[in-house]
Amino acid sequence: MELIADHTVLSVVVGSRAYGLEVAESDTDRRGVYAAPAALFWRLDKPPTHLDGPLPEQFSWEIERFLTLALACNPTVLECLWSPIVERITPIGTELLALRRAFLSQRARQTFLEYAGAQFKRLNPESPKWKQAMHMIRLLISGRHLVRHGEPLVHMGEYRDRLLAVRRGEVAWSELSAWRDELTADLGANAGVLPEHPDRAAVEEFLVAVRKSTL
């Protein structure tokens, strides 16, 4: 775990605690980014693109993999860049957060819809997993906010009580489905403020600078 201990540039809390949806038994989910020293890439065996641990519910990406996923508007990765709970950050991590809008593009509409749609398909209307249903709705809310305002909505704020009611199974399936349909329609139809393409050149320039700094 030397890469995590010595080369992490950003570590944040995600999941229910970042969303403001935690309950007493909620875990603390952590996601991080590490910048492997450039010399490790000169070997036949390259450094890992991701690592689990060392803490429970902790997962980290090597910075190049993280940047690639962010350019593809991966919802999980984008939300890391807007987490309200930052536990560790270095100057490189600060530069990464300053660059976060360079990753955004119209593609985000599709990725958020696809992720939420996959979660919805796994729900059984006769016996739904309400926690999963809550997070499906949360993802659509976050995506709609991203399209409208240029950043995902991580902390749920005004939506918290209604989402927790979903988690407790206090919302009828018909109401949940209608809410999902409304959010899906909003997210799919709204052209919003996102650029057509990400700023790939700026991201690549950042990556090159990171690699040079670790020589």
Give the per-residue pLDDT at 105.
96
Yes or no: say if 17 and 29 are a contact pair by the CB < 8 Å rule.
yes
Q: Tell me which residue range forms the domain holding 15.
A: 2-103+198-213
Report residue 1's pLDDT band, with 50, 70 and 90 as the boundaries.
confident
Give the per-residue pLDDT at 192.
86
> Which pLDDT tens digit goes with each residue over 55-109?
999 999 999 999 999 999 999 999 999 999 999 999 999 999 999 999 999 999 9
Residues 67 and 113 in one domain: no
The percentage of the chain sitting over the pLDDT mark of 90, rounded to a whole number, equals 95
The percentage of the chain sitting over the pLDDT mark of 70, rounded to a whole number, equals 99
Residues 95 and 14 in one domain: yes
Q: Can you tell me the mean pLDDT for 154-162? A: 96
- In this structure, what is the dihedral angle of CA atoms 13, 18, 24, 25, given to the nearest 10 degrees? -50
Is the model's pLDDT at 136 over the cut of 90? Answer: yes
Structure tokens at 149: 């305002």
Residues 113 and 150 in one domain: yes
Cα–Cα dist 70/47, whole Å:
20
- Model confidence, pTM: 0.95
Residues 151 and 181 in one domain: yes
Residues 72 and 119 in one domain: no
Residues 85 and 131 in one domain: no
Residues whose CB is less than 8 angstroms from the CB of residue 22 and which lie 6 or more positions away in sequence, other chains included: 16
Give the per-residue pLDDT at 147.
95
Residues 65 and 146 in one domain: no
Cα–Cα dist 82/80, whole Å:
5
CATH of the domain at 78: 3.30.460
Residues 38 and 24 in one domain: yes
Give the per-residue pLDDT at 82.
98
Residues 81 and 49 in one domain: yes
Exposed (0-12), middle (13-18) or buried (19+): which is 101, by Cβ within 10 Å? middle
Residues 72 and 112 in one domain: no
Domain count of the fold of the chain: 2
Phi first, then psi: give them for residue 198, nearest 5 degrees. -75, 170
Give the per-residue pLDDT at 87.
98
